[in-house]
Amino acid sequence: MKNIYLPQLGKIKRVQKETSDVKTFTLAPLRGAGFTFFLKEKIKFIPGQFLEISVFGTGEAPFSISSSPTQKDLQISIKDVGSVTSALHNLRKGQVIGLRGPFGNGFPIKDIRGYDILFVGGGIGLAPLRSLINYILDKRKNFERIIILYGAKNPEELVFKDELKGWERRKDVELLVTVDEGDGKWKRNVGVVTTLFEKIKVNPKKAFAFVCGPPVMIPFVIEGLVKIGLKDERIFANLERYMKCGVGKCGHCNIGPKYTCLDGPVFSYKEIKGLSKEF
């Protein structure tokens, strides 16, 4: 019988520093270790899904896949906040980790074809959105406007800086970036991410919105999107809750009757409205 808690083995192929406390890890299968979910070196997943990553001797934690399934590399981007994340940050190229997944529902990629897509990200919350952004950019003709609103505490904390520059150079992407606090060199918007809503015009009838960021940001962004006129079923938030098993067994991750690991982590506002004081 398959043991759902048994991780498969992977190795770290590359580590890239994003900020002082965020790193992006490119993962690869460990050859000869009986991999089943890397298919021809490629794991099958939907943007928005997550992996349970284990550091042997320390523990396991969930992380969104930050790369797109249309790209060769499998990546996760991790902020160092505690024991597992700090142990991951200490790992080097070639070292072995455990992986389970992919888990969760992912973004509704089939329903959004032909629409304007608005992304609203905060801090490391850009990680799962990046997976969907790059997926959409690799299938660009299937979508209308792509608008990305991204905020961080300060310029140093912006993740994927090179990629942000690349998106900014594209004529078919509208990118607006803000920081809560600028430095001497910062010439762009200063303020929380919702202050960027005044700078864009969105046709709510044609748009879907995807939101991911710190829990405190999400209700404010949803409120702003509702004011713009987006229907509840067109607003999706990627929610983080404490998770253990990742597969609907332990009950750690529920919001009311919903399990974040099974029913989420991507929820429409229609689904979560009224389930928690936060929404």
Ligand X SMILES: Cc1cc2nc3c(=O)[nH]c(=O)nc-3n(C[C@H](O)[C@H](O)[C@H](O)COP(=O)(O)OP(=O)(O)OC[C@H]3O[C@@H](n4cnc5c(N)ncnc54)[C@H](O)[C@@H]3O)c2cc1C
Q: What is the binding site for ligand FES (CB under 6 A)?
A: 243-246, 248-253, 259, 261
Residue closest to 234 by CA, chosen among 185, 273, 270: 270
Among 8, 19, 64, 134, binds ligand X (CB under 6 A): 64
User: Strand 96-103 relative to strand 50-55: parallel, antiparallel, unpaired?
Assistant: antiparallel
Residue closest to 247 by CA, chosen among 235, 230, 237, 262: 262
Contact partner, 64, from ligand FES, ligand X, none, Cβ < 5-8 Å per class? ligand X
Name, in order, each residue with C-beta under 8 angstroms of 49's C-beta and a sequence gap of 6 or more.
64, 65, 101, 102, 103, 104, 105, 106
CB of 270 to ligand X, least distance (A): 20
Of all residues in the shown chain, the one whose CB is closest to ligand X is: 82
Task: Tell me the CA distances in angstroms from 204 to 89, 174, 194, 269, one per residue in order.
Answer: 41, 16, 16, 15
User: Does an H or E element contain 135, and which?
Assistant: helix 126-137
Q: Measured at the alpha carbon of residue 175, what is the angle toward residues 106 and 45, in degrees to the nearest 5?
A: 20
Indicate the residue among 139 and 249 with the shorter CB distance to ligand FES: 249
**Strand partners of residue 96:** 11
Does position 106 interact with ligand X (CB under 6 A)? The reply is no
Among 152, 193, 243, 266, binds ligand X (CB under 6 A): 243
Contact partner, 85, from ligand FES, ligand X, none, Cβ < 5-8 Å per class? ligand X
Residue closest to 50 by CA, chosen among 261, 277, 268: 261
User: Strand 174-179 relative to strand 189-190: parallel, antiparallel, unpaired?
Assistant: parallel
Indicate the residue among 212 and 235 with the shorter CB distance to ligand X: 212
Query: Which region, left, alpha or beta, applies to residue 236 given φ > 0 means left and ψ of -120 to 50 means alpha?
Result: beta
Contact partner, 101, from ligand FES, ligand X, none, Cβ < 5-8 Å per class? none
User: Strand 235-238 relative to strand 146-152: parallel, antiparallel, unpaired?
Assistant: unpaired
Contact partner, 248, from ligand FES, ligand X, none, Cβ < 5-8 Å per class? ligand FES
| C-alpha span between 119 and 151 (Å, rounded) | 11
Does position 214 interact with ligand X (CB under 6 A)? The reply is no
Q: Which stretch binds ligand X (CB under 6 A): 13-21, 59-67, 179-187, 268-276?
A: 59-67
Does position 48 interact with ligand X (CB under 6 A)? The reply is no
Contact partner, 276, from ligand X, ligand FES, none, Cβ < 5-8 Å per class? none
Does position 83 interact with ligand X (CB under 6 A)? The reply is yes
Does position 266 interact with ligand X (CB under 6 A)? The reply is no
Does position 240 interact with ligand X (CB under 6 A)? The reply is yes
CB of 66 to ligand X, least distance (A): 6
Residues that bind ligand X (CB under 6 A): 50, 59, 61-64, 77-79, 81-86, 124, 127, 240-243, 265
